[in-house]
Amino acid sequence: MMSIEAISTPNAPAAVGPYSQAVRCGDMLYCSGQVPLDPQTGQMVPGDTGEQAVRVMENLRAVLAAAGVTFSSVVMTTIFLTDMGDFSVVNKVYERFFDSGVYPARATVEVSKLPRDARVEIAMIAKLPS
């Protein structure tokens, strides 16, 4: 039977509901969607969609690090945008965080609303070392 373990770090926003920042199942890590909350204050970061995307990616970097991996281990992302017009802005930010030359598979969808009126939310799946 595969063990399931919650992953948590104070370097990313605490869960605001009944979920974990990430869950390890076997050699896979499932990261919950992150919105642009400052982990120290719990408040939304000010700024445009690009600035929000930077905070989201920094939050995800912290969750990945808590599990002992980096963005190079990410195999799938899902990006939620409240305005698909922000696609290229988020792409530019997103691209900066992946330096291995291999980008994960990805889905990007427009949604009508995100928690705390965020403009962007990103969830990830990563492969852990065996």
pTM of the model: 0.96
Per-residue pLDDT at 130: 81
Per-residue pLDDT at 53: 98
Domains along the chain with CATH numbers = 4-127 (3.30.1330.40)
Per-residue pLDDT at 1: 66
Q: How far is CA 130 from the centre of its chain?
A: 22
- Per-residue pLDDT 10s for the chain (130 aa) are 678 999 999 999 998 889 999 999 999 999 999 999 999 999 999 899 999 999 999 999 999 999 999 999 999 999 999 999 999 999 999 999 998 788 999 999 999 999 999 999 999 999 999 8
Neighbouring-strand partners of residue 23: 6, 30
Per-residue pLDDT at 99: 83
Per-residue pLDDT at 109: 98
**Residue 1 contacts residue 95 (beta carbons within 8 Å):** no
